[in-house]
Structure 1
Amino acid sequence: MKAQLARGVLWLSAAKVAVTVLALCSTFILARLLTPEDFGLVALALTMLEVLAAITELSLASSLIHHEQPTEDHFHTAWTMNLIRGGLVGAGFALASPWVADLYHDERLIPVMCWMGLSVFINGGANPKVIVLTRQLVFWQEFVVLVTQKLAGVVASIVVALVFRSHWALVVGLLCTQVAGVVSSYVVVPYRPRFSLIHVRDLLSFSVWLSLGQIVNTLNWRLDHLIIGARMGARALGLYTVGDKLAALATRETIGPIEQALFPGLRAVVHEPERLKRGYLRAQAVIAAAAMPVGMLFALQAEVVVRLVLGEKWLDAVIVVQMLAAVFALQTVASPVRPLAMALGATRLLFMRDLAMFAVRVPIIAAAAWYGGLLMVLQARAITGLATIVLNMTVVRQLAGLSLTAQLRSTERSLVSAVVAGAVVWAAQTPSGAGWSWLHLAGELAAVSTLGVAVYGAMHLVLWSLASRPPGPETELLSLLDKLRHKFLPHQVSTHDQ
Structure 2
Amino acid sequence: MTQLTSVTVRGVRWTYLSSAAGIAVQIPYSAAMARLLTPEDFGLMALAHLILRFAHNFAQGGLRSAVVQRPSLTDRDVRVVFTLALVVGTLSFSAIWLAAPYAAELVHGPAELTRVIRATALMLIFMALGAPANGLLGRGMRYRAIAVCDFCSFVVGYCVTGITSALLGAGVWSLVYGTLGWYGLQALLPYALVRHSVRPLFDLRAMRDVMRYGGKVSVNGFLEYLTDDFGKLAIGRYVGVAATGLYDRAALLASLPLLQIQQAASKVLLPAFSRIQHETSRLGTSHADCVSLTTLVLFPLWAVIGASSTQLVALLLGGQWGGSAALVPILGLASAVGLVAQFSGTLVEALGAVGGKVAIHLVQLVVVVAGTAVALFLGGGVHRLMVAVLVGYLVKQTLFHVWLNRLFPATRRLVAQAYAQAAALTALIWLALWTVQQALGDGCPVALILTAKLSVAGALLLGCVRYGSGLHGMRVARERGLLPRKLTRERLREAC
Q: Using structure 1 for the length normalisation, give the TM-score.
A: 0.89
Q: Is 1:355 matched up with 2:362?
A: yes
Partner of 1:144: helix, strand, or coil?
A: helix
Shift of the alpha carbon at 1:416?
Answer: 0.9
CA distance 1:320–1:39, shift in 2 (3 Å)? same
Partner of 1:177: helix, strand, or coil?
A: helix
The alignment covers a number of residue pairs equal to 485
Q: Is 1:8 matched up with 2:8?
A: no
Match of 2:202 in 1: 197
Amino acid at match of 2:167: L
**Is the contact between residue 417 and residue 460 of structure 1 (CA under 8 Å) also seen in structure 2?**
no
Q: Deviations along 1:236-266, whole A, 9 cap, x unmatched?
A: 1111122112211131223432233122222
Shift of the alpha carbon at 1:132?
Answer: 2.7
**Is the contact between residue 32 and residue 311 of structure 1 (CA under 8 Å) also seen in structure 2?**
yes
Partner of 2:168: helix, strand, or coil?
A: helix
Alignment equivalent of 2:250, drawn from 239, 243, 246: 243
Shift of the alpha carbon at 1:343?
Answer: 1.7
Alignment equivalent of 2:318, drawn from 311, 315, 325: 311
**Is the contact between residue 94 and residue 117 of structure 1 (CA under 8 Å) also seen in structure 2?**
yes
Partner of 2:130: helix, strand, or coil?
A: coil
Q: Deviations along 1:270-292, whole A, 9 cap, x unmatched?
A: 33222221111112111112212
Shift of the alpha carbon at 1:170?
Answer: 0.7
Q: Is 1:117 matched up with 2:121?
A: yes
> What is the 5 A alignment of 1:68-467?
68-103=71-106, 104=108, 106-126=110-130, 128-151=132-155, 152-164=157-169, 166-198=171-203, 199-331=206-338, 334-369=341-376, 371-401=379-409, 404-429=412-437, 436=445, 441=447, 443-458=448-463, 464-465=469-470
Shift of the alpha carbon at 1:55?
Answer: 5.0
> Counterparts of 1:218 and 1:346 in 2: how far apart (Å)?
20
Match of 1:20 in 2: 23
> Counterparts of 1:27 and 1:289 in 2: how far apart (Å)?
27
Shift of the alpha carbon at 1:45?
Answer: 1.4
Runs (5+) with no aligned partner, structure 1: 487-491
> Counterparts of 2:482 and 2:210 in 1: how far apart (Å)?
42
**Is the contact between residue 34 and residue 165 of structure 1 (CA under 8 Å) also seen in structure 2?**
no
Q: Deviations along 1:9-62, whole A, 9 cap, x unmatched?
A: 011101111222222222111111111111111111111111133356510111
**Is the contact between residue 33 and residue 165 of structure 1 (CA under 8 Å) also seen in structure 2?**
no
Partner of 2:111: helix, strand, or coil?
A: coil
- What fraction of aligned residue pairs are identical, expressed as a percent? 22
CA distance 1:415–1:172, shift in 2 (3 Å)? same
CA distance 1:493–1:398, shift in 2 (3 Å)? closer
Shift of the alpha carbon at 1:405?
Answer: 4.2
Partner of 2:201: helix, strand, or coil?
A: coil
Q: Is 1:46 matched up with 2:53?
A: no
Q: Using structure 2 for the length normalisation, give the TM-score.
A: 0.90
Q: Deviations along 1:407-444, whole A, 9 cap, x unmatched?
A: 111332222122112211111126786994xxx62x53
Partner of 1:429: helix, strand, or coil?
A: helix
Match of 2:478 in 1: 477
**Is the contact between residue 464 and residue 474 of structure 1 (CA under 8 Å) also seen in structure 2?**
yes
Match of 1:489 in 2: none
Deviates more, 1:129-138 or 1:414-423: 129-138
Partner of 1:171: helix, strand, or coil?
A: helix
**Is the contact between residue 361 and residue 396 of structure 2 (CA under 8 Å) also seen in structure 1?**
no
